[in-house]
Structure 1
Amino acid sequence: MRGQKPKVSNVIPMKGDLAAPVPEAPGWMSAEGREVWDRLAPVLVAKKRLEPAFEDPFAVYCEAVADVIRFTGDIAAFGSWYEVETRNGRQQKKRAVWGQRQDAIAVMNQLAARFGLTPVDEARVRVTGQGDLFDEILKTLDGAD
């Protein structure tokens, strides 16, 4: 049957159609960190992993990602080592930015695990519970299976 087309104000969206609001990045974040926030926060909100209590740790994760990007650019531009003359001859030393990047990667990996941002951690976070050790046996004994 044909009828009058619905008016947009009359249409009630289904629960699946409602998108949760994405929170704004905290004001203390760097511009690079905000870019990471804007890219990843909608993904975490859709997965229901960015509750208000988790916003600060997620902001720290975004800053760590921004640091890794920034430090990698510095290493690309200036190299990862330099040479110095010592009493034992010329030696190659790592630049300070190399260690800074390693520290940022460590923080990034640690926090990525907490938010399920790697494939392994995604599977770990997605699991809803431990389950019951004897559940399958009891179902079999009861004849439910």
Structure 2
Amino acid sequence: MGARGVKPKPTALKVLHGDRPDRINHHEPIPPEGEVTAPADLSEDARVVWDRLAPSLIAVGVLTPWDVDAFVIVCEALARYRQATKLVNGSALLVQGPNGFVKNPALVVQREAETTFAQYGARFGLTPSDRTQLKVDAPGGATRPSAERLLS
């Protein structure tokens, strides 16, 4: 994010909008095209999340080979959130601690997983408000983003 908390405009949009040339990164790295596959060490619950979300993110070009590690964090966080939620739903919000009742530790795990998911999920546009910040090609048209593509 920028100095004022505003997310920077994607380079391709800067070119399209005619921004000053000195404000355009003409050497922005572009991830190579290639197969995006789930890592073998993904937990079983996270693999369910991957299988549900990854295909559509790959199709629109949001999930690339460079993004796999960040997306693993999204998948594991959502899996952990669901596991913690099951624990909370199966027990009480307060549990007996050494000095009386304390907040169920599963609530802490649930909150931390929710925060991680929200932070990393935003990068992939996984909520309606996050999607307003992303610019992608039409669904199924996962082409490589480049300034030249916009100007031709």
TM-score range for the pair, normalised by the shorter chain length? 0.5 to 0.7
Q: Separation in 2 of the partners of 1:62 and 1:46?
A: 18
Q: What's the Cα RMSD here?
A: 2.3
Q: With structure 2 as the length reference, what TM-score do the two structures score?
A: 0.62
Contact 1:71 1:101 in 2 (8 A): yes
Higher fraction of helix: 1
Which structure has more RCO (C-alpha within 8 Å, separation ≥ 6)? 2
How many pairs does the alignment contain?
105
Residue 45 and residue 82 in structure 1: after superposition, are their counterparts in 2 closer, same or farther (change >3 A)? same
Are 2:137 and 1:124 equivalent residues in the alignment?
A: no
Contact 1:49 1:115 in 2 (8 A): yes
Q: Tell me which of 103, 117, 120 is aligned to 1:111.
A: 120
Q: Tell me which of 54, 59, 66 is aligned to 1:41.
A: 54
Q: Tell me which of 45, 63, 67 is aligned to 1:32.
A: 45
Residue 94 and residue 48 in structure 1: after superposition, are their counterparts in 2 closer, same or farther (change >3 A)? same
Are 2:83 and 1:74 equivalent residues in the alignment?
A: no
**Percent identity at matched positions?**
32
Are 2:89 and 1:92 equivalent residues in the alignment?
A: no
Which SS does the other structure have where 1:29 is aligned? Answer: coil
Which SS does the other structure have where 1:125 is aligned? Answer: coil
Contact 1:30 1:63 in 2 (8 A): yes
**Unmatched 5+ stretches in structure 1:** 1-19, 129-145
Residue 79 and residue 22 in structure 1: after superposition, are their counterparts in 2 closer, same or farther (change >3 A)? farther
Matched letter for residue 32 of structure 1: D
Contact 2:74 2:116 in 1 (8 A): yes
**Unmatched 5+ stretches in structure 2:** 1-32, 138-152
Deviation >6 Å, runs of 4+: none
Contact 1:75 1:98 in 2 (8 A): yes
* Bigger CA radius of gyration: 1
Q: Separation in 2 of the partners of 1:127 and 1:46?
A: 10
Matched letter for residue 40 of structure 1: L
Q: Separation in 1 of the partners of 2:35 and 2:57?
A: 9
